[in-house]
Amino acid sequence: MAQRRNTMRWSLIGVITALAVALAFVVTNIDGGTRAEAKPGPKPSLTAASKSAAPSKSTAKPAPPALKGIGWWPTDEKSGGVARDAAGKHPADLKDGAGWTKGEQGGALLLNGTSGYADAGAPIVETVGRDYSAAAAVRLDADGFRTAVSLDGAGSSVFFLQYVADYRRFSFSFSNARALANLVEAPKLGRWYHLVGTYSHSEKKLRVYVDGVAAGEVLAPDNPEKPAGNLVIGRGKYQGKPTDFWPGAIADVHVYDRALTPAEIAALAAREPSR
């Protein structure tokens, strides 16, 4: 009887041992098999993430030709008194001390902040009852109210693509309404930024974008100014007088007879169209 109990005991121990070994084998293969089939990817890095989110200007594809607009002043001349219009027929004459310097993607206008600007010789874009956009790459070298691109009206500019000293923000403005770039940080002097201002007539909205990012908007149902002069680069007009002269550099100025989409603005900020 004792021998039978011993035999049963050892048989039971053998069964338990076999089950434990089998269970360990199954668990090991489930865990190890899954890991073995997965291919290791590259280690994530902040640099790689940043490049995928916002391609550098040197690696991004050129913006589509449609983003040249109805007027485009690449400012690549480096010398002389005229900036060619690469999209239309309105070269801009350099005035009162405007010159040339290096830009982010080529050349740029160098402006003294007191008198220098460039005049396109025509309004270029129709604004009354229409959608439109203006764009430019800018480097601001001193504080104050400053205008990069504007269209002269009878009393004040029809629109201002500008920097507003009171708020330390870029803006796309009428004389009675202002879309401040409050959704991005205050700009730093001496650094290049890409600015776009759009107006949607159907929505009655001004919008401003900084480096391809939507940065602010405002309702602007009534613009008191109508075109009465030319598109100008590097200054504004207020109460009948030239004002807000830009100190620093401006490059790749565009105007469009439509409101650019966010996707188009991001593409333009990443890289200019092929010259």
Residue 45 above 50 pLDDT? no
Span 54-99, pLDDT tens digits: 445 557 788 888 899 999 999 999 999 999 999 999 999 999 999 9
Write down the pLDDT at residue 42: 32
Residue that has been written with the tokens 């507003």 in this structure: 164
User: Is 221:199 a contact under the CB 8 Å cutoff?
Assistant: no
Write down the pLDDT at residue 8: 37
Lowest-confidence region among 38-52, 190-204, 209-223, 225-239:
38-52
Write down the pLDDT at residue 65: 81
Residue 17 tokens read as: 């041992």
| Mean pLDDT over the full length of the chain | 84
In angstroms, the Cα distances linking 33 to 25, 29, 132, 157 are 11, 5, 59, 70
Write down the pLDDT at residue 12: 38
Residue 52 above 80 pLDDT? no
Residue 39 above 60 pLDDT? no
Write down the pLDDT at residue 32: 33
Distance between CA 110 and CA 244 in Å, rounded?
A: 15
Residue 234 tokens read as: 């590097």
Write down the pLDDT at residue 56: 52
Residue 183 tokens read as: 């959704």
Would you kindly state where each structural domain of the chain is located, as residue ranges?
A: 1-39, 64-270
What is the second-level CATH architecture of the domain 64-270? Answer: Sandwich (2.60)
Distance between CA 5 and CA 1 in Å, rounded?
A: 6
Write down the pLDDT at residue 274: 87
Span 111-164, pLDDT tens digits: 999 999 999 999 999 999 999 999 999 999 999 999 999 999 999 999 999 999
Question: Burial of 204 by CB count in 10 Å (0-12 exposed, 13-18 middle, 19+ buried)?
Answer: middle
Averaged over 169-178, what is the pLDDT? 98
The pLDDT > 70 percentage for the chain reads 79
Residue 13 above 60 pLDDT? no
Residue 183 above 50 pLDDT? yes
Write down the pLDDT at residue 46: 25
Residue 64 φ then ψ, to 5°: -60, 155
How close are the terminal C-alpha atoms of the chain, in Å? 102
